[in-house]
Structure formats: structure tokens, C-alpha cells
Amino acid sequence: MPTAHPPAVSATLREVGLRDGLQSVTTIVGTADKCRWVDAAHAAGVREIEVGSMVPARLLPQLADTEAVLQHALRLPGLVASVLVPNLKGAQRALAAGAHAMIVPLSASHAHSLANLRKTPDEVVAEVARIRAARDASGNRAGSRTIIEGGVGTAFGCTLQGEVPEAEVLRLLQALLDAGADRVSLADTVGHADPARVSRLFDKALHRVGDRLRYAHFHDTRGMGLANAYAAWQAGVRGFDACLGGIGGCPHAPGASGNVATEDLAYMLERMGAHTGVQVPALLQLRRQLQQWLPGEPLHGSLWQAGVIRTRTEPAPAPNTAAACL
Amino acid sequence: MPTAHPPAVSATLREVGLRDGLQSVTTIVGTADKCRWVDAAHAAGVREIEVGSMVPARLLPQLADTEAVLQHALRLPGLVASVLVPNLKGAQRALAAGAHAMIVPLSASHAHSLANLRKTPDEVVAEVARIRAARDASGNRAGSRTIIEGGVGTAFGCTLQGEVPEAEVLRLLQALLDAGADRVSLADTVGHADPARVSRLFDKALHRVGDRLRYAHFHDTRGMGLANAYAAWQAGVRGFDACLGGIGGCPHAPGASGNVATEDLAYMLERMGAHTGVQVPALLQLRRQLQQWLPGEPLHGSLWQAGVIRTRTEPAPAPNTAAACL
């Protein structure tokens, strides 16, 4: 039986800012700074980091050093170092590099899939089968242990196509697993999700594939990122993608304000009593560093303004009967 | 039996920007513009508006024209026009003006109560009893029908005191009703709430006092405003305070980024399938107007950037295999 509602209260945050975030900004962060980011996130308690994307350097020069950052990340104790791979060719690079995990993006919206990947969803499923065969042929090399994750995007709607039927999303999750993916995830690529829809789809998906559905990936396009994460958490999801400083977003989502901010999501989960293992103040410190690496680039999120909650011990401020707070 | 989980999917949004928002900004919006705001919110489908606060004009000059705005609002069909009253004196003004409802703020945190209201919570309860007696003595005048709402603030924690025991919040809700309040509400005055805490407290409170618990009031201090609103909705709450443009917040909450934005909350609820009666595009239009009334004042919220979801019908954009969205 699939375990739809695991009793554990641990949550895993996967930092995807080095991939989903940096692919969306024009600034190229140097390899040394990316490695500092990985180190600091790891030191803050993050235990999975998507360090880049195995695409040709000419297409995404920001991520051209993915192999180097991956090699660095692979040396950190207890860290799962993952990369995005758009196809078999990228997967072969990930296998050769010994990535711990590789995420194969699939778009449940056919229109978005063709626009973004030049393939139909089922062609991506077929590619996952080829990727699985490649891994199985890896013998005793490090790549033989690389986890294959099918990441189903536009799972909650699509700017190009509009509605994306739940049945199609569920079919594709199953198809990915049948084709050899070890685990799957659901992404609100273009910010169409709302908590009710998230609750409904994750509930069905978890009943269908159990804890092989590992990660929820939310954008904060219309401010509902944390609400959607909470709805997914309530449905039983225990893994979340997030970007430090809320950077990232999709070029097909106009006006997108980025991904859920890692620091905001970690704080919400911790306040809720979940154990993320993440030190939120350290993430806030790293966010300040990120702003220096991305000068002029707008960062997002809310926690950085007010900071974590500190109860004052000094005397109460002067009484103010005027502005009766409520 | 209290109805803890009503089956209805209608939600009521109470616009509190004219009170909670404007009391926090230094700009004084003129009476004519406030009336335009009330008119536009009403035209957009908002059916309850807190138009101001019955406090001495020297304390809050921004709200000195509350009576005038109230008289205007009272003429709009189907609109509940409410005011905040900090004490009996304010309540007498609200009764004389024939307000549809008056909200008496009480702070569940004793430290916050003394700092903000110069009274203990139980002294506020006693004041509510006096307010009820004043209403009961109103005879056949309009004020005899003025609803008394006890608004319990710092219900989820306090910057001054830290934890606020749930049992104390529940006791005060009951005490307010016993003292003669017609209904009660819960407010996260200083942005300490998280969805798990919201779910727990509203669940208990709704079981205790049923649908006499009418409104949830969330700040967005750390980005959890919508997540908290969703948690309250899940618990069964069907009324929400919100401020257009996310203005407002509490002077005792350092770094506060304001209240939940009316337009964001309305949109989330509508996307979830709830019926708010509110036209979100009209609220976005009104938000642009608000920015003109409050030049230089930072507005908050997220929806204004991306706008409501529109599915494109034009051809898909040029393929982009590089930035594989997820």
C-alpha cells in the first residue's frame, strides 16, 4: 500500500536556486561563488541541492560550470547533489559525473511541453526509459546509483493551454515510474496553483504513487507559494523545492515573481513544528551574500524584512492608545 | 451545537484598509477620497468595510473624519459599515452614528494589552459589558441594532510577551460573548501565526463558540498571511479581514510588512472555488488608485504584479530548450 500520509514531521528542503534561480538571471555567478553558496547552504543544514543543469553551455552560459559545482557538492558529507537533465545526453553527463540524483523535467501541458522541451509528454516518458537503460548499463560506476526523478511541471495549469487535467497528471506520474523513474515530483511551473487544487492533486497523487512522490515545487507568482506548500504538507508531502531569495521562475510565466523563498518556507515549516534541519538565521545571512553575487537582481520573499521572531525582554514601549492594533 | 465546519463555500471579505491601513500611514487621505474608496470597494463587491476608528481626532488625525465616512458608507445598499471603538466613549459615538457594527479590540497578551490599550484584557471585557448596556439602552434609535464584535488580538503570540496561551484566548472569546458581544474575531496582530497554530486555535475556538467567531485577521509580516488564511478557511472560518494593497500593520510589530492584501486573498479564495462576490480586477484597479492617494507609501501584496490568470490564445512563444522550466 502506498503511504499517503506518513506520520513523520521531518521535512526536506531542496535548494534549487543554483539551477532554477540562476537560469533565470542574466548575471553569471562564478564557480567559486557557487561553491561558496553550496557550502553555506550545506552548513545551514540543507541536505539536497540541485546544483545546475546538464544542458549545452551555449544555451545556458549561467550554468556552464555545472560539472565543476557538482564535483564540489559531491564531496560534502550527507548532501544529495542533484542536477536537471533535459534528455538522455544530459543524463549521460550526470551519470558520468556520478550525480546523486537527476531530475528529468516533463510538462503535463502538451502546449508547454512542445514550447519548452520540443517534445510531447510521452516522448519525455520514452526518454526516461532510455535514461533508465543508460543507468542500468552503468555497471559499478558511481552513476549506477544516480536516482532518476521525473519532475512533472505545469501540473496545476498552464499559461499556454489553460487547464491541465488531473487525470493526465496522474497518468504521467505513473508512466514516469513505469518507465523507470525512481521518484517523481509535481511543479507549479507557471504559478497557477491554489491551495485547494494543490490539496486535491497531491492527495490523489500520493494515493496513487505513495512516497515515490517526493517533492513539491511551487512558484510564488501570485503570493500563494507558502499557502500551496502548506496545502501540500497537509496532504502528506514532505519534500519541497525552494530558491534562496525567491529567485527564479519561468520565462513562459509573465510577471512571475519567482520561486518560493527557501528561508520563508523553512521558517514556516519550523514554526509549524516540522523538523527541517535548517538554520533559518544562517539562510538569511546567505541571502545577504546572494544579493552581493546578484547585484541589481530583485530578490523576493518576506522573512528577510521582519526577521525571525524574537520576543523582546526590554520594557514595553510607551503606551499608544491611538492606533489600537488588531 | 456550534457549527464548526459549515458546508457553505461563501466567504466574506471585510475591507479594513480605511482603519487598520490608514492609521499606520502618515499621509492623511481626504474624506472625499475615502468615500471614493468605499464606493469603489462596494462596487467591486465588498460587503463589509471598517471605515475608521472612533478615537479622539488628536490621537489619529488620519481617522478624524470617521463619522463622515461612516455616514457615507451607511447609505450604500447591502454594505455593512463598521468602525473600531476602543472604549465606551467610542462606542457611544458609534451608536449615535448608527454604525452597523463596532469592533472592540482586546489583546489576549496582557503585556500588549497594557502597552496598546492601557487596560488588562478583563478590563476590556468589562468595558464590553458597559458597551452592551449602552446599546441596550438605545431604544428605537439606529444604534440599537449596532452589532458588537469583540476582536481578540495577539491571539497567536506577542512581540512583548512571547507565547499567548490558547486557553487564555479561548477564555477571553467566551468572556466577550458572555459580556454581551454578538460576535468575536481572532487577529494575528504582530505576525506570529503559522498555519499549524492557526488551524489548531481556530478549530478549538469554532468548537467553543461556533459561528459567533466570525472573522480572521492576519498580517503578512513573514509572508504567511495567505497560508494562515487558508488554514483558517480549512478550519471553517468564512470571514476575513484584509487591507487593499496590504497596507497597515501594527506599530508594535517591528519590520511588519502589513496586512494580508484584500486583492490577493480574494483571488486565492476565488481560485479555490469559494464565492466572495468580489471582482478581483476591480480591486486591482482600486489598488492603483490607492497608490495615488498614498504617494510614496509602500504597498504590498503579490497579485498586482502578475495579475489574474489569463490563458493566452496567441501562438506559443519560441521554443526554449535551454531554461527547462520546472
Q: Is residue B267 pLDDT above 70, yes or no? A: yes
CA atoms of B45 and B54, how far apart (whole Å)? 25
Nearest chain A residue (CA) to B115: A319
Q: Is residue B110 pLDDT above 90, yes or no? A: yes
Residue A302 covered by a domain: yes
Nearest chain B residue (CA) to A229: B227
Residue B221: per-residue pLDDT: 87
> Pick the residue with more confidence: A323 or B50?
B50
Residue B99 covered by a domain: yes
Does B162 sit within 8 Å of A251, measured CB to CB?
no
Instruction: Look up residue B10 and give its amino acid.
Output: S
> Pick the residue with more confidence: A217 or B162?
A217
A153-190: b (≥16 Cβ within 10 Å) or e: bbbbbbbbbeebebebbbbbbbbbbebbbbbbbbbbbb
pTM of the model: 0.93
What is the grid cell recorded at B152? 481578540
ipTM value for the complex? 0.92
Q: Calculate how close chain A gets to B140, using CA atoms only, in Å.
A: 30
Does B231 sit within 8 Å of A115, measured CB to CB?
no
Q: Is residue B219 pLDDT above 90, yes or no? A: yes
CA atoms of A242 and A262, how far apart (whole Å)? 5
Does B326 sit within 8 Å of A103, measured CB to CB?
yes
Residue A92 covered by a domain: yes
Burial class (CB in 10 A: 0-12, 13-18, 19+), A138: middle
Residue B1: per-residue pLDDT: 43
Question: Could you write out the DSSP letters of every residue in A116-158?
Answer: HHSS-HHHHHHHHHHHHHHHHTTTTSGGGGPEEEEEEESBTBB
Helix, strand or coil for residue A261? strand
Nearest chain B residue (CA) to A221: B306
Helix, strand or coil for residue A77? coil
Task: Judge whether A250 counts as a catalytic residue.
Answer: yes
What is the grid cell recorded at A306? 521582519
Residue B285: per-residue pLDDT: 98
Helix, strand or coil for residue A163? coil
Residue A125 covered by a domain: yes
Helix, strand or coil for residue A201? helix
Residue A311 covered by a domain: no
Distance of alpha carbon A34 from the chain centroid: 17
Q: Which residues of A touch B317 (CB under 8 A)?
A: 115, 251-252
B86: nearest CB among A195, A256, A321: A321
pLDDT in tens, A258-291: 899 999 999 999 999 999 999 999 999 999 999 9
pLDDT in tens, B142-194: 889 999 999 999 999 998 888 999 999 999 999 999 999 999 999 999 889 99
Residue B251: per-residue pLDDT: 57
pLDDT in tens, B60-70: 999 999 999 99
How many Cβ pairs within 8 Å bridge chains A and B?
A: 240
Residue A7 covered by a domain: no
Q: Is residue B252 pLDDT above 80, yes or no? A: no
| A91, A132 contact by CB (below 8 A) | no
Domain count, chain A: 1
Residue B7 covered by a domain: no
Residue B315 covered by a domain: no
Q: Which residues of A touch B273 (CB under 8 A)?
A: 196
Burial class (CB in 10 A: 0-12, 13-18, 19+), B162: middle
Domain of A66, in residue numbers: 12-306
Q: Is residue A250 pLDDT above 80, yes or no? A: no
Does A227 sit within 8 Å of B230, measured CB to CB?
yes
CATH of the domain at B243: 3.20.20.70
Mean pLDDT, all residues of chain A? 91
Reported in sequence order, the residue ranges of B158-310 that DSSP labels E, i.e. its strands, are: 183-188, 213-218, 239-242
What is the grid cell recorded at A216? 513539491
Q: Is residue A14 pLDDT above 90, yes or no? A: yes
CA atoms of A261 and A232, how far apart (whole Å)? 16
Residue A245: C-alpha distances to residues A20, A216, A303 (Å): 12, 18, 10
Mean pLDDT, all residues of chain B? 91
Q: Calculate how close chain A gets to B40, using CA atoms only, in Å.
A: 23
Q: Which residues is B147 bridged to in the sheet?
A: B101
